[in-house]
Amino acid sequence: MQLNRNNLKRANAGTAVPGYDRAPLQSRILHFGFGAFHRAHQALYQDRLLQLEGGGWGICVVNLRSAGLLESLRAQDHLFTVLEQGAEGNQARVIGSVTESLHPRLDSPAAVIAKLADPQLAIVSITLTEKGYCINPATGRLDWDNPDILRDLAEPGQPVSLIGYIVAGLAKRQALGLAGVSVMSCDNIPDNGRVIRQAVLDLASRRDPMLAAWIEREVSFPSTMVDRIVPAVTADTRRELRDTLGLDDACGVATEPFTQWVIEDDFVAGRPAWEKVGVELVRDVRPFEAMKLRMLNGTHSFLAYLGYLAGYEYVSDCMADPVFAQAARRLMLDEQGVTLSMPEQEALTAYGERLLARFRNPCLRHRTWQIAMDGTMKLPQRLLAPIRQQLAEGRPWPLSALAVAGWMHYVGGVDEQGNAIDVRDPLCDSLASLVQAAGDDEALVRRLIGLESVFGSDLSGNEGFVGGILPAYRRLKQRGAALAVADTLSLRQGDNDVRR
């Protein structure tokens, strides 16, 4: 029996269901990217607020690529389940805050643009991952060589990229004499509000300078920090959802109990009272953002590449290995934490210990392969930014070096047992060409570091950086991931000479 409005009353006892009237909900929030994270995070926060006080703030979700998920969502009356899995058991919650969905093929590009120009719309939110922004990671500006951006310039009325749709929608709002909205990125990108603002202004300026000027006056771009571990949905996830809920749910997700959301309070057309359900509204989100990107996401990438190479399928498998667990803690606190500007160092230590406990959660089957995806988009903010700081300040960074070396080994496409790795990355072809053209370890390291869109021109010419990565890569190739992690832990500070 399928989850939908009529069958909701058949859900198993203990399932939390919407206790509010969904009929008054209006699509005041338009969200791009109806992925697992949005379902377990932003949509859930809005559901909590509606449970608390009702109201009319509903969400319309948009997928620009996959249509199948939205077809399933519509068959379920836009209901879906979030299954929280923790040491004390599972808790299923049916979410009712999403009331509408759009897709360019199922509906039309014009329908998406029209929704962006709906007078009642106040917020456009986004979770598309880094590659959806069509930016050059080295510059933070729009990538004018991106084929989607080139098409959006040629056919602005039939956009294909996120940026193209936002600019088209804002152009229509301007033409209709409507007020601006707030565009809120919830992706793991440093200064995500400023990045999306710059990308939108870059494309709008090419289209119409007057439009760009209107956007600067009328539209706000609050930055955010979001934190919740949400593994990809698998057949096992669906079975657990069915067992807990008592209904079939094609759109449900599983996640951890922990969740956090920090937002810069800069909304030009109003917002829900999210502070009533635990959201932190602040003036500057950057310290929180850097803490999460470096300590959580940077350590996740370390575990993803090295754990995958060592044969560990899940993050919790890595954390069950005392050597990997010790390395994760040391990376977080000794190499990542020291680069952060937080008022209290004790708070960073407590945050790190909480992260390690979350990583150990065996209920969350968070695959190392999933985290390893799109590394060229993730490395700059998760690992390279803190390494730059370590180089400038003359501090050692051996585990960070090993993490980057792990990525280099991983994108080589062959694991330690000689099996092919399914490398998923927007620069997959370029990476394969660079690896194939390398004659030895040093050539491979230098060729990959020469990829300016990832490493920038400063690191490719920095012999201190090359001198830190090369021995880590050789150690990894010679000893294997598990022993390389153990060897790196045993080094005395400075022994690997990864300094300026």
Clarify whether residues 216 and 168 are in a common domain. yes
Given 264, 282, 300, the domain boundary residue is: 282
Q: Is the pLDDT of residue 499 over 50?
A: no
Q: How far apart are CA 93 and CA 390, in angstroms?
A: 44
What pLDDT shows up at residue 339? 93
Cα distances from 88 to residues 84, 85, 197, 258, 490, in angstroms, run 10, 8, 42, 13, 36
Q: How many domains is the chain partitioned into structurally?
A: 2
For the residues 159-186, what does the mean pLDDT come to?
A: 98
Tell whether the model's pLDDT for residue 469 goes beyond 90.
yes
The CATH code of the domain that includes 374 is 1.10.1040.10
Which of residues 222, 254, 282 is at a domain's end?
Answer: 282
Per-residue confidence at 89, pLDDT binned at 50, 70, 90?
confident
Paired with 229 in beta bridges are none
In angstroms, the CA 412 to CA 406 distance is 10
Sign of CA dihedral 412, 417, 420, 421: negative
Q: Which two tokens stand for residue 24?
A: 């008054």
pLDDT of residue 136: 84
pLDDT tens digits for range 414-452: 999 999 999 999 999 999 999 999 889 999 999 999 999
Bridge partners, 280 (sequence order):
262
Q: What is the pLDDT of residues 303-328, one digit of tens each?
A: 999 999 999 999 999 999 999 999 99
Average pLDDT for 130-158? 90
Q: Say whether pTM exceeds 0.85.
A: yes
Residue of 212, 104, 208, 207 lying closest to 159 (CA atoms): 104
Given a cut of 80, whether residue 214 has pLDDT beyond it is: yes
Tell whether the model's pLDDT for residue 345 goes beyond 80.
no
- pLDDT (mean) for 172-189: 97
Q: Give the range of the structural domain holding residue 328, as residue numbers without chain letter.
A: 286-490
Please indicate, yes or no, whether residues 338 and 191 belong to a single structural domain of this protein. no
Rounded CA-CA distance 307/318 in Å is 6
- Which residues make Cβ contacts (< 8 Å) with residue 113, sequence separation at least 6? 157, 159, 165, 168, 169, 172
pLDDT for 461 equals 84
Indicate if 245 and 359 belong to the same structural domain.
no
The CATH code of the domain that includes 224 is 3.40.50.720
| Residue 500 domain flag | no
* pLDDT recorded at residue 88: 76
> What sign does the dihedral 227-232-236-241 (CA atoms) show?
positive
**Phi first, then psi: what are they for 393, rounded to 5°?**
-100, 0
Predicted pLDDT at 131: 87
Say if 2 falls within a structural domain.
no
DSSP assignment of 417-436, as one string?
Answer: TSPBP----TTHHHHHHHHH
**Would you mind telling me the total number of residues written for the chain in this entry?**
500
pLDDT tens, 122-136? 999 999 988 899 998
Confidence of residue 500 (pLDDT cuts 50, 70, 90): very low
Same domain, 302 and 170: no
User: Do 348 and 422 sit in the same domain of this protein?
Assistant: yes
- Judged against a pLDDT cut of 50, whether residue 372 lies above it is answered with yes
Share of the chain above pLDDT 70, in %: 97
